[in-house]
A = this chain, B = another copy of it.
Amino acid sequence: MLNFSTKGEYGLRAVVNLARSYPKIKNIKAISIEENISAKYLERLIGELRKNNLVKSIKGKNGGYVLARKPREISAGEVIEVMEGQMTSKCNGTHCAHMKDCASSVVWIKLGEQIKKTLYGIKLSELIK
């Protein structure tokens, strides 16, 4: 019904992978092999997660990544929001004839709320059991 890009999937899988080995550090190479994701691409994606304070990086030899918080303090929603970008209700009532009371916008707003509720309710801790 909706197309999710692999960004969200890859990001989530990487973070879940880190949750499994938490609090040990793990490098891109290891994650990319285990998850079967292009190392270079993953490197870029995980960079986004770092900039948004979901993972911490340790530079230099023997470096790698760790979750920035405990697995039970990070939700799937946070990860996916960073990777996919904020959900925007495209139908905001500005372009159709019904103006502010655009009937269709109700659908996108309700849906957005439900998605957030669902995804923010899922913590990494519950995914690694």
Extra pairs beyond A2-B4, A106-B122, A114-B115 (8, CB < 8 Å): A3-B87, A4-B90, A4-B108, A6-B90, A36-B96, A80-B107, A103-B127, A115-B115
- Write 28 A-B pairs (CB below 8 A) sorted by A numbering: A1-B77, A1-B80, A1-B81, A1-B85, A1-B86, A1-B115, A3-B87, A4-B108, A6-B90, A9-B90, A9-B91, A12-B91, A13-B91, A13-B96, A13-B104, A34-B96, A35-B96, A36-B96, A36-B97, A76-B107, A103-B127, A104-B127, A106-B122, A106-B127, A107-B127, A111-B115, A114-B115, A114-B118
Binding site for B on A (CB under 8 A): 1-6, 8-9, 12-13, 16, 34-36, 76-77, 80-81, 84-87, 90-91, 95-97, 103-104, 106-108, 110-112, 114-119, 122, 127-128
